Structure 1
Amino acid sequence: MDLNELRNEIDVVDRQIVELFEKRMDIASRVADYKIANGKKVFDKEREDIKLRAVKELAHSDFNKVGVEELFSQLMSMSRKLQYQKLSEAGASGKLPFMQVDGIDKETSRVCYQGAAGSYSEMAMNAFFGDKVNAISVETFRDAMSVLEDGSCDFAVLPIENSTAGIVSEIYDLLAEYEHYIVGEQIIEIKHCLLGVPGAKLEDIKTVYSHPQSLMQSARFLSEHSDIQQISMKNNAFAARKVAEDKDITKAAIASEKAAEVYGLDVLLKGVNQADSNSTRFIVVTNQKIFCKDAKKVSLIMEIPHETGALYHLMSHFIYNDLNMSKIESRPIEDRNWEYRFFIDFEGNLSDSAVKNALRGLREEAKMLRILGNY
């Protein structure tokens, strides 16, 4: 038998597989009708586990057993998605506990940011809310979450990701801990400067202060001046303020040019960060479950079963609903070794039927799912 004959045999089998697949999906559709009529959940994990064990035993080799398990896992996943779609068509998509608003009140709201005057967080806040914003500053990111929780502020502006240094992991962990929601984002360009007291020169500097991420972003410059001691601060503006207060020509801060203006420091060197296109993404967080009607990005946090293929199957909800997932990050779960939370961003609005359908499937199949915001 030659290759063409073998390929013809495969074509025959493939046509049979397609016919059987469509027959199976037709039955799955009728199963959905029954579940809708009787108020039953789509996902029945116990039933699926029994089914997978049974079909694996029908295969005649270990290799085929693995393949059959993967094949039927996919078939059942597709059946579930068909059933979720039918539930939505029947008006059973469910209501999300978020209120749609026309926009955010930027004029009368009170806003907090971490750091001090001249910080990048303040710059991001002013870019989003305007220079006349009613603002307060706090010492730490946790403080910002706390003032939201107790109602002292309406919004907080927090850095979540830098294009050079990556994510701000503490913000992700705080989003998991607090019941707060993202309602906006602001990206600003980062241009780090080396700041010293008036009269200081680059060769005078023995110690430099800055936020750990800013030190990381300026690693190339600092490696060229290995004799300079690096000291971490909670915020760049705190670093600039300390240098101004100490009045020591051997001390410098890596911070913004704005911080130099605020604290009366000289700019000893501009652009000490190694990347020419360095920017930071800030999120605007509130304790209110709201989203703007023109919101285009959804963020969520999810915990999944600790088993093979779990993440793969959950991600397919975005594919089947034609949703573009733009970001996924993982963070370890405290006190649960080698288990992780996943933070996901995808394009869409909570009022979209495709988004509702995807969230329904994710909610049923994930161990935990919480919407962090739509913005």
Structure 2
Amino acid sequence: MRDLAELRLEIDKIDRQMVELFEQRMGISREVAEYKVAVGKRILDKERENQKIEAVKALTHNEFNRHGVEELYKQLMAMSRKLQYQLMEEQALGRLPFVMVDKLEKENVRVVYQGVDGAYAQQAMFAFFGENVNHFHVERWRDAMDAIAEGMADYAVLPIENSTAGIVNDNYDLLEEYDNYIVGEQILSIQHALLGTPDAELSDIRTVYSHPQGLMQCARYLDEHRDWKQISLLNTAMAAQKVAEEHDKSQAAIASTLAAKQHGLKVLEEGINRSGGNSTRFLIVTNQPIFCRDAEKVSICFEVTHESGCLYNVLSHFIYNNLNMCRIESRPIADRNWEYHFFVDFEGNLNDSAVKNALRGIREEALNLKILGNY
């Protein structure tokens, strides 16, 4: 049996040779990229890569090494592609179809949100645009996306996730479906209050209305009043509107204090969700492909083939370009069982070389890519 130190010295020698060969290989990869760019050929040649992997697997002598060589060459080819995408960036090919602006226009604009007066979306809108903004509300989130797509509004305000209830699935689907773009976000601290008619007292309440998430987020408080009947409505502001219109002091709504102000209701108790960390992230969406000079987050949507390693290959572009991924979500694709859209947020600006390089690589290797916005 040979000494461990001797074995390590031999491995070091082989590693030096491997590094030298790796650098030679990457040098040739650059020449391949220059040729592909010159003739307009795609970087990813899946058929060629598969043939090459099968060829090098055939050179091995056992099953373990066959799997190992396959994994090694998939990584080598991925690194080669990334080098080639980088060369494309150096030659300024494939400019992104977005226009940079110094700042968003917030004066003389019209904004749409879903719900009624007093909705949390209205509160988020006021926080982002100011309380004097020209605005209107619609019944559904889809109606809000239609309004900006058709030019009835300049911006829409959409909730996308809550820190306790999770993502708003329908709005992820709408972002993929419409050619609208995220240009901002507003994080709103959600503080639910119990609202009643002006003559009501806590002891009068028998029925409580709210959005299902509002009821869920106040479950601990409602457990202390188990004799109250809980009824779900489309949103919290609609619950406040119902209580105001029916003038029944036995009814209460779980909604915002803004809703109390808008509908002339009495705040019977504040902060009943009992969670200081309950926040909702709202997106500001428009129909123009624009981004601000100081934007620092990019949102994208893509699909990949239903094969081993495909999602990893796409996500590896963030690692290679040293980009920090903030979140990833998946949504099922309609009428295609067990296939998904992937939504990713990551830090960066569309003017950054690293961002352009990552997006170019993802566009080449995913089935499709949609840039949802930079904000």
Pair in the same fold by TM > 0.5:
yes
Judged with a 3 Å threshold, the aligned counterparts in structure 2 of structure 1 residues 215 and 58 are, in CA distance, closer, same or farther, namely farther
Partner SS, residue 312 of structure 1: helix
2:172 is the counterpart of 1:172: yes
Give the structure 2 partner of residue 36 of structure 1. 37
Give the structure 2 partner of residue 47 of structure 1. 48
2:278 is the counterpart of 1:278: yes
Q: After superposition, where does 1:259-270 map in structure 2 within 5 Å?
A: 259-270=259-270
- 1:319 to partner: Cα distance: 1.6
Give the structure 1 partner of residue 16 of structure 2. 15
| Equivalent residues of 1:324, 1:347 under 8 A apart | yes
Give the structure 2 partner of residue 112 of structure 1. 112
Partner SS, residue 200 of structure 1: coil
- 1:369 to partner: Cα distance: 0.4
Task: Please give the per-residue CA displacement for 1:282-324, whole angstroms capped at 9, x wherever unaligned.
Answer: 1111111111222111111111111111111111111222222
CA distance in 2, matches of 1:31, 1:227: 74
Please tell me the residue identity of whatever aligns with 1:214. Answer: G
Please tell me the residue identity of whatever aligns with 2:310. Answer: A
Judged with a 3 Å threshold, the aligned counterparts in structure 2 of structure 1 residues 63 and 221 are, in CA distance, closer, same or farther, namely farther
Please tell me the residue identity of whatever aligns with 2:45. Answer: D
Give the structure 2 partner of residue 369 of structure 1. 369
Please tell me the residue identity of whatever aligns with 1:213. Answer: Q
| Equivalent residues of 1:195, 1:260 under 8 A apart | yes
CA distance in 2, matches of 1:66, 1:257: 61
Give the number of equivalent residue pairs. Answer: 374
| Equivalent residues of 1:198, 1:265 under 8 A apart | yes
Partner SS, residue 65 of structure 1: helix
Give the structure 2 partner of residue 126 of structure 1. 126
Judged with a 3 Å threshold, the aligned counterparts in structure 2 of structure 1 residues 12 and 206 are, in CA distance, closer, same or farther, namely farther
Question: Which stretch shows the higher mean deviation, 33-42 or 308-317?
Answer: 33-42
Give the structure 2 partner of residue 336 of structure 1. 336
Question: Which stretch shows the higher mean deviation, 241-250 or 117-126?
Answer: 241-250
Give the structure 2 partner of residue 323 of structure 1. 323
- Identity value in percent: 63
Judged with a 3 Å threshold, the aligned counterparts in structure 2 of structure 1 residues 134 and 26 are, in CA distance, closer, same or farther, namely same
Judged with a 3 Å threshold, the aligned counterparts in structure 2 of structure 1 residues 62 and 125 are, in CA distance, closer, same or farther, namely same
Question: Which stretch shows the higher mean deviation, 52-61 or 68-77?
Answer: 52-61
Q: Which TM-score applies when normalising by structure 1?
A: 0.95
2:76 is the counterpart of 1:75: yes
- 1:140 to partner: Cα distance: 1.1
- 1:203 to partner: Cα distance: 4.3
Partner SS, residue 13 of structure 1: helix
CA distance in 1, matches of 2:247, 2:370: 49
CA distance in 1, matches of 2:276, 2:107: 34
CA distance in 2, matches of 1:54, 1:271: 66
- 1:166 to partner: Cα distance: 1.4
Partner SS, residue 81 of structure 2: helix
Partner SS, residue 252 of structure 1: strand
Give the structure 2 partner of residue 155 of structure 1. 155
Please tell me the residue identity of whatever aligns with 2:157. Answer: V
Give the structure 2 partner of residue 301 of structure 1. 301
Q: After superposition, where does 1:136-147 map in structure 2 within 5 Å?
A: 136-147=136-147
Give the structure 2 partner of residue 25 of structure 1. 26
Question: Which stretch shows the higher mean deviation, 62-71 or 295-304?
Answer: 62-71
2:338 is the counterpart of 1:350: no
- 1:346 to partner: Cα distance: 1.2
- 1:238 to partner: Cα distance: 0.5
Please tell me the residue identity of whatever aligns with 1:89. Answer: E
| Equivalent residues of 1:192, 1:255 under 8 A apart | yes
CA distance in 2, matches of 1:338, 1:324: 28
Task: Please give the per-residue CA displacement for 1:58-98, whole angstroms capped at 9, x wherever unaligned.
Answer: 23333322222111111100000001111211232x12111
- 1:212 to partner: Cα distance: 2.3
Q: After superposition, where does 1:181-192 map in structure 2 within 5 Å?
A: 181-192=181-192
CA distance in 2, matches of 1:170, 1:323: 28
Q: Which runs of 5+ in 1 are unaligned?
A: none
Judged with a 3 Å threshold, the aligned counterparts in structure 2 of structure 1 residues 51 and 224 are, in CA distance, closer, same or farther, namely farther
Q: Which TM-score applies when normalising by structure 2?
A: 0.95
CA distance in 2, matches of 1:81, 1:14: 23
Please tell me the residue identity of whatever aligns with 1:79. Answer: S
Give the structure 1 partner of residue 59 of structure 2. 58
CA distance in 2, matches of 1:58, 1:274: 64
Please tell me the residue identity of whatever aligns with 1:100. Answer: M
Task: Please give the per-residue CA displacement for 1:216-271, whole angstroms capped at 9, x wherever unaligned.
Answer: 32233234444433322222111111111222233221111111122222222211
Partner SS, residue 151 of structure 1: coil
Please tell me the residue identity of whatever aligns with 2:262. Answer: V
Partner SS, residue 36 of structure 1: helix
Give the structure 1 partner of residue 88 of structure 2. 87
Question: Which stretch shows the higher mean deviation, 139-148 or 7-16?
Answer: 7-16
| Equivalent residues of 1:164, 1:275 under 8 A apart | no
CA distance in 2, matches of 1:319, 1:271: 42
